[in-house]
Amino acid sequence: MGILGIKGTSYTHVDEIKEDDAFGTLLADNSIGVHHDHYLTYHLDLDIDGEANSFMMTNLETVRVKGESSGRKSYWKVSHETAKTEGDARIKVGLKACELAIVNPNKKTKPGNKIGYRLIPDSVAHPLLVADDYPQIRGAFTNYNVMVTPYNKSEKWAGGLYANQVELVLSIENKDIVLWHTVGIHHVPCQEDFPIMPTLSGGFELRPTNFFERNPVLKAKPPKPFTNQHCTSYH
């Protein structure tokens, strides 16, 4: 819950507003809720069974079948790509079919898969400002939804202290790495947001991928019957 940023105006009805004159929604007499963005960056210092980890992108790619030997025209295949430097690990989520994972390249499952955890994004936002606009230069950490850097004790916040000093050349392979996940919304205010903004929720999921040898639920004990005087249920 929060308080919406409001700009004063002479308008009291939408019909009075000339096109391109209001940079927001008229919410009440003389009150415009200004269009704006919200960005949140999660600093995920993952250590998947140890500090030395890599960032792995699993790309899902369409392959067109050549020739007439099959009735099929296409299929899709998977290729794994391990990011070597910060510059390899910049992702705009949703632009292509890709699974993202932090893996431990030194630890394998019995069949030989790298153990890891996937990042499963929820909804994300991409900047609507042009890249050379000053707020976007200062907020360049919103250019990508995922970035990966070597762990550095002094780098705690995506927006500073030294936001512009990213060189993108540092190695992130088999290192103690940090995944920065930036999510957000573009907020076109509506009247329900005024004067008190209701909660909007978002997030992401971290899910094991080849971390366990099999589905760990198989080891879970079955639920015991549970009764009380009002109802019967399971816990």
181 or 187: whose CB is closer to Cu ion? 187
Binding residue count for Cu ion, defined by CB under 5 A: 1
d(CA 80, CA 58) in angstroms, rounded, equals 4
Beta 177-187 vs 232-234: how paired, if at all? unpaired
Instruction: Give whichever of 125 and 177 is closer to Cu ion, judged by the CB atom.
Output: 125
Considering only 60-68, 90-98, 135-143, 182-190, which stretch makes contact with Cu ion by CB under 5 A? 182-190
Asked if 125 and 183 touch (Cβ cutoff 8 Å), the reply is yes
Q: How far is the CB of 116 from Cu ion (least distance, A)?
A: 35
Q: Does 187 bind Cu ion (CB under 5 A)?
A: yes
Which residues between 53 and 92 bind Cu ion (CB under 5 A)?
none
> Distances in Å between the alpha carbon of 207 and those of 79, 99, 212?
20, 11, 11
Q: How far apart are CA 180 and CA 125, in angstroms?
A: 14
Query: Nearest distance from residue 122's CB to Cu ion, in Å?
Result: 17
Burial 113-138 (b: 16+ CB within 10 A, else e): ebbbbbbebeebbebeeeeeeeeeee
Q: With 0-12 CB in 10 A as exposed, 13-18 as middle and 19+ as buried, what is 215?
A: exposed
- Find the residue with minimal CB distance to Cu ion: 187
The smaller minimum CB distance to Cu ion, of residues 118 and 187, is found at 187
Which CB, 37 or 173, lies closer to Cu ion? 37
27 binds Cu ion (CB under 5 A): no
Cβ distance to Cu ion smaller for residue 35 or 175 = 35
How many Cβ atoms from other residues are within 10 Å of residue 47's Cβ? 13
CB of 36 vs Cu ion, minimal distance in Å? 5
At residue 114, φ and ψ (nearest 5 deg) are -70, 135
Beta carbon nearer to Cu ion, 199 or 229: 199
Closest distance to Cu ion from the beta carbon of 109 (Å): 44
The least distance separating Cu ion from the CB of residue 200, rounded to whole angstroms, comes to 8
- Backbone torsions φ then ψ of 126, nearest 5 degrees: -110, 145
Interacting span for Cu ion (CB under 5 A) from 26-34, 88-96, 152-160, 179-187: 179-187
Q: How many CA atoms lie within 13 A of 66 on its CB side?
A: 0
Q: Which stretch binds Cu ion (CB under 5 A): 81-89, 93-101, 110-118, 181-189?
A: 181-189
Comparing CB distances to Cu ion, the nearer of 137 and 185 is: 185
Minimum distance between the CB of residue 139 and Cu ion, rounded to whole angstroms?
15
* Residues of this chain that bind Cu ion (CB under 5 A): 187
